[in-house]
Amino acid sequence: MERALEALRSGAWLTPPRIRLIAIAVLVASVAGCLSLVLTAHGLIDLKGRPLGTDFSNVYAAGTYVREGNPAAPFDPAHQYAREQQIFGAATPFYGWHYPPFFLFIAAALALLPYPLALAVWQALTLCLYVLSIRGIVTSSARPPEESAHPAPVPTEPARHGDWLLLAVAFPAVLVNVGHGQNGLFTAALLGAALLKLDRRPLLAGILFGLLAYKPQFGLMIPLALAAGGRWRTVAAAAATVALLCLATTLVFGPHVWRAFLDSTRFTRIVALEEGNTGWYKIQSVFAWARMWGAPVPLAYALQSAVTVALGAALVRLWRASAPAAIKAAALCLATFLATPYAFDYDMMALAPAIAFFAVDGFARGFGPWEKTALAALWATPLIVRFVAHATLIPLGVPAMLVIFVLLLRRSTDQFASAMAISRAFLLK
């Protein structure tokens, strides 16, 4: 028992062959699951009566309205559902449109294609962008310490061996995202690339952060961290990007589309979030955790607000400190997810850059106790989090993310850096 606990504490059980075996098994199972959905489908409908790509059906349906010159229609649940039934059949479930109006540009472009091709193009394109983002993180080259107070991370072991690609593609949230035709891959790509470019190309980082506004619920922590770190050029670029998106949307679709969007937010807040009609076990937030356990709406909001404020305070302190850039980036990815009450398991794709940044710093400075095991647990969490919560009402996502966030804060301290330096010097002897 003691040996097993020590292996978990040190992470010695995570040998490269074992990591590869687990990742390959998950990847094979994921591919097999996706193929079975496609091969057993009847036209555009799977065996459970859902459109292939499930949530992507709302994007495609919204895009068809835009092509007809009616961009406000997707924000009306009745109109949106009518179009989904028209495309996929009267028995199809309802998939609501909850995005800001500027995401209609992408929806309209995808609706130019037949549905199966549009789904394939969207998934393939966003998967490539995600892989490129993770590749950039794990293969970042080091700069000499005298060039920067926050040198970029050194190339990691997974980067040298190529295991990063296997781990990135096999990340269970990829399967969840692909199965739902969702946009988590796009979110992870934008977030990871923005944080990667923050030091060397701050304006580009700001543009990428600005594009993340298509998921406005993830915008609570990003400006706070950037302001705390004095990244004002990036803040300005992000604000300008959002302003241009809003202007283009207004010019192309008309100002009435914003009224339609604002009216639709009440439906999203009450039906999708507060009443949990999509399923509490799917939403990975403190708010959903509290509601799943029977808390009234005001208490659930109060608990979520308390966690969000605590995360913001910790993030400000971290981004003002002289911690490594990779630690700040990983912490921001986690805080971005944890700060919102409205985050689903497919949105856990945002954890991929967090894991990559954490691993980069770990290979550069050494891993502390329990860190490798905690990272492995976080990597695996999207595979089981929905099913465990549905069967037992035990949430796993939020606790796993909070543990990693605390470990990141520990890594940011001078005491941790000193301990790792001493440990590395001892091992080198």
Who wins on pLDDT, 357 or 423?
357
pLDDT at 155 over 50: no
What does each C-alpha distance from 147 to 10, 65, 233, 397 come to in angstroms? Answer: 33, 53, 20, 39
Does residue 154 surpass a pLDDT of 80?
no
The angle at the Cα of 335, spanning 169 to 102, to the nearest 5 degrees, equals: 75
The confidence score (pLDDT) of residue 261 equals 96
Rounded to two decimals, what is the model's pTM?
Answer: 0.90
What are the boundaries of each domain within the chain?
2-45+117-139+156-231+276-428
At 69-121, the pLDDT tens digits run 999 999 999 999 999 999 999 999 999 999 999 999 999 999 999 999 999 99
Give residue-wise pLDDT tens across range 205-227.
999 999 999 999 999 999 999 99
Residues 87, 61: contact at Cβ < 8 Å?
Answer: yes
Half-sphere exposure of residue 220, counting CA atoms within 13 Å on the CB side? Answer: 22
CB 173 within 8 A of CB 158: no
Find out whether 386 and 281 touch, Cβ atoms under 8 Å: yes
